[in-house]
């Protein structure tokens, strides 16, 4: 990292921050605004020591909450910034980007590099020159993990950031920016995407059984990530068999390859066409995840889903598929009374309506069936989860407790196995307490 002697003066930093043409968002969150406020208090004539110390404390606190140094914060914001250059770079090739936009991006990168060179030690020294004491400097290294992208190292060591513009454009094109770069799992709510900070931590390695279904789903997902034709998938079968867990586990396997999981509830299916249109030009690959899907007779939300599954005049995007789970093979509830009889006079082509309901699930390109777990499969799942949890119980005791739990609770399934092992883990921390009611 460049030493603090190359840091600009306070007035120069203010002008460089104000001169940003595209990357204003780098300084628009709490840490960036706290830094600009601190510069303002330092530039007052004469500066007020109390005001300066308070502004420094606010800036220090925001960085401490993030666990990042100021230079690492600037790098992170540059890589995530949604702006006219980064948004266009993720959709178009380098040769097709407008020259004026490239010139503006180079200009901004030069200004941002000056901000990047302003270390915590230098800022603390500025404060100490005004206040009656020199406060501690916040100089911690980034806590975002050891696996930083190559562009991070390039910017951290380059004398002139504007020279890295082609590499930065390639990074945006591969990884994206903004919300979809920050989050791997998201949900659609009230007309917008919301990031899920703590997605379900389930991993494929923890899911036992249904190996054929798992392999088919993995191959389809890998086709999606490779830009090849991928199919919409319906996972249906008995409750607790791991359908939803299998879909969620895909995220942990493939997130680093650009996979994103978008959770959409049945009540929001009417917005599905809008959701797909917002995703079609992004560099990531998206699974729209609809859990526990079924429709009552009077509901017509399935029509919006049908449009996405079958397509309309708008071309289907190659980077979006729908994975839905259901306990019902026929997703639209039907009654015997719905079936037309010769005496019916309400609808001339009543059988057409019935066939539309019955065949709706056939719109999915793949249908994966999850049968109830037999005793052998159930016990295999319990043993696998117990081994992962580090439970050291004799096999006969583990089997006895697992069968008791299945009898007294929800029957044999992957969900029941997980609940059983969780209960046994709790008992190891609370000897003598049996969550299944035994003593």
- Residue ranges of the domains in the chain? 4-176, 195-370, 375-429
**163 close to 177: Cβ distance less than 8 angstroms:** no
pLDDT reported for residue 360: 60
CA–CA separation, 70 and 4 (whole Å): 12
pLDDT reported for residue 315: 66
The tens digit of pLDDT for each residue in 196-236 reads: 988 988 888 878 778 899 999 999 999 999 999 999 999 98
Would you call the peptide bond into 46 cis, given omega within 30 degrees of 0 as the criterion?
A: yes
Which residues are within 8 A (CB) of 75 and not within 5 positions of it... i.e. 6 or more apart? 116, 152, 155, 156
Given a cut of 90, whether residue 19 has pLDDT beyond it is yes
Whole-number average pLDDT of the chain: 84
Comparing CA positions, the residue from 116, 17, 119, 29 lying closest to residue 65 is: 29
Instruction: Report residue 190 as tokens.
Output: 């009230």
Q: What is the DSSP string of 329-354?
A: SSSB---GGGS--TT--S-TTHHHHH
Comparing CA positions, the residue from 417, 227, 254, 402 lying closest to residue 318 is: 227
Region 89-104: mean pLDDT is 95
Most confident range (mean pLDDT) of 261-265, 271-275, 352-356 is 261-265
Given a cut of 80, whether residue 182 has pLDDT beyond it is yes
Three-state secondary-structure class, residue 117: coil
β-bridge pairing 233-237 and 192-195: unpaired
Distances (CA, A) of 60 to 73, 139, 186, 242: 12, 10, 30, 45
The tens digit of pLDDT for each residue in 98-146 reads: 999 999 999 999 999 999 999 999 999 999 999 888 899 998 755 444 5
Region 21-35: mean pLDDT is 96
Determine if the pTM surpasses 0.85: no
Region 28-44: mean pLDDT is 96
Helix (H) or strand (E) holding 192: strand 192-195
**Cα angle vertex 231, ends 227, 235, to 5°?**
135
CA–CA separation, 340 and 349 (whole Å): 9
Residue 271 neighbours by CB distance under 10 Å: 16
Q: What are the φ/ψ torsions at residue 10 (nearest 5 degrees)?
A: -60, -50
CA–CA separation, 38 and 279 (whole Å): 39
The tens digit of pLDDT for each residue in 257-269 reads: 999 999 998 888 8
pLDDT reported for residue 371: 79
Q: Please, which pLDDT band fits residue 57 given cuts at 50, 70 and 90? A: very high
pLDDT reported for residue 169: 96
Given a cut of 70, whether residue 194 has pLDDT beyond it is yes
The more confidently predicted of residues 148 and 84 is 84
pLDDT reported for residue 439: 46
Of 19-33, 319-333, 362-376, the poorest mean pLDDT is in 319-333
The more confidently predicted of residues 104 and 298 is 104
**57 close to 132: Cβ distance less than 8 angstroms:** no
Q: In this structure, which CATH number among 3.40.800.10, 3.40.1160.10, 3.40.50.300, 3.40.1110.10 belongs to the domain 195-370?
A: 3.40.50.300
Q: Alpha carbon 103 to chain centroid distance? A: 32
Of 148-152, 186-190, 229-233, 398-402, the poorest mean pLDDT is in 398-402
Of 30-34, 293-297, 350-354, 394-398, the poorest mean pLDDT is in 350-354
The tens digit of pLDDT for each residue in 377-416 reads: 788 888 888 887 788 888 888 888 888 888 887 777 777 8
Share of the chain above pLDDT 70, in %: 83
pLDDT reported for residue 170: 94
pLDDT reported for residue 87: 94
CA–CA separation, 152 and 412 (whole Å): 49
Three-state secondary-structure class, residue 236: strand
Q: Please, which pLDDT band fits residue 334 given cuts at 50, 70 and 90? A: very low
The more confidently predicted of residues 346 and 377 is 377
pLDDT reported for residue 345: 47
Region 415-424: mean pLDDT is 82
Q: What are the φ/ψ torsions at residue 75 (nearest 5 degrees)?
A: -60, -45
CA dihedral 297, 301, 303, 304 (to 10 degrees): -170
Given a cut of 50, whether residue 161 has pLDDT beyond it is yes
CA–CA separation, 340 and 338 (whole Å): 6
**143 close to 67: Cβ distance less than 8 angstroms:** yes
Quick one: 223 exposed, middle or buried, by C-beta within 10 A (0-12, 13-18, 19+)? middle
Of 9-18, 346-355, 389-398, the poorest mean pLDDT is in 346-355
pLDDT reported for residue 336: 44
CA–CA separation, 151 and 164 (whole Å): 8
Assign residue 86 a region: left if phi > 0, alpha if psi is -120 to 50, beta otherwise? alpha
Three-state secondary-structure class, residue 328: coil
DSSP type of residue 185? E
Q: Where are the alpha helices (DSSP H) in 201-301?
A: 211-225, 243-254, 272-279
Quick one: 177 exposed, middle or buried, by C-beta within 10 A (0-12, 13-18, 19+)? buried
pLDDT reported for residue 355: 45
The more confidently predicted of residues 146 and 185 is 185
């Amino acid at each position: 990292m460049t030493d603090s002697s190359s840091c600009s003066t306070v007035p120069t930093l203010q002008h460089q921050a104000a001169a940003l043409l595209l990357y204003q968002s780098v300084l628009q969150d709490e840490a960036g605004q706290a830094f600009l406020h601190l510069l303002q208090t330092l530039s007052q004539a004469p500066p007020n020591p109390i005001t300066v110390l308070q502004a420094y404390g606010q800036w220090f606190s925001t960085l401490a909450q993030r666990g990042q140094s100021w230079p690492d914060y600037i790098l992170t914001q540059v890589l995530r910034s949604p702006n006219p250059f980064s948004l266009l770079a993720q959709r178009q090739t380098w040769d097709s980007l407008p020259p004026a936009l490239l010139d503006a991006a180079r200009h901004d990168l030069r200004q941002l590099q000056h901000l990047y060179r302003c270390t915590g030690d230098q800022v603390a020294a500025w404060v100490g020159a005004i206040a009656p004491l020199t406060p501690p400097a916040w100089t911690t290294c980034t806590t975002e993990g050891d696996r930083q992208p190559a562009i991070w190292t390039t910017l951290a060591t380059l004398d002139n950031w504007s020279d890295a513009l082609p590499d930065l454009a390639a990074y945006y094109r591969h990884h994206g920016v903004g919300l979809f770069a920050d989050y791997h799992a998201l949900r659609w709510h009230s007309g917008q995407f919301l990031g899920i900070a703590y997605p379900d931590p389930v991993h494929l390695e923890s899911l036992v059984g249904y190996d054929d279904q798992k392999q088919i789903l993995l191959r389809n997902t890998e086709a999606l990530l490779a830009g090849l034709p991928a199919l919409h998938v319906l996972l249906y079968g008995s409750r607790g068999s791991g359908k939803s867990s299998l879909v969620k586990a895909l995220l942990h396997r493939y997130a680093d390859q650009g996979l994103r999981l978008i959770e959409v509830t049945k009540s929001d299916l009417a917005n599905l066409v809008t959701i797909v249109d917002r995703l079609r030009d992004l560099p990531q690959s998206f699974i729209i995840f609809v859990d526990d899907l079924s429709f009552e007779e009077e509901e017509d939300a399935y029509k919006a889903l049908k449009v996405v599954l079958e397509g309309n005049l708008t071309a289907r995007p190659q980077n979006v598929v729908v994975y839905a789970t259901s306990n019902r093979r026929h997703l639209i509830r039907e009654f015997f009374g719905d079936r037309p009889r010769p005496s019916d006079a309400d609808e001339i082509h009543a059988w057409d309506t019935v066939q539309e309901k019955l065949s709706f699930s056939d719109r999915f390109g793949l249908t994966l069936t999850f049968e109830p777990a037999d005793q052998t499969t159930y016990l295999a799942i319990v043993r696998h989860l117990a081994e992962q949890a580090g439970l050291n119980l004799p096999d006969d005791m583990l089997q006895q407790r697992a069968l008791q739990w299945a009898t007294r609770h929800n029957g044999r399934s992957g969900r029941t196995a997980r609940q059983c092992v969780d209960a046994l883990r709790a008992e190891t921390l609370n000897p003598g307490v049996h969550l299944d009611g035994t003593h």
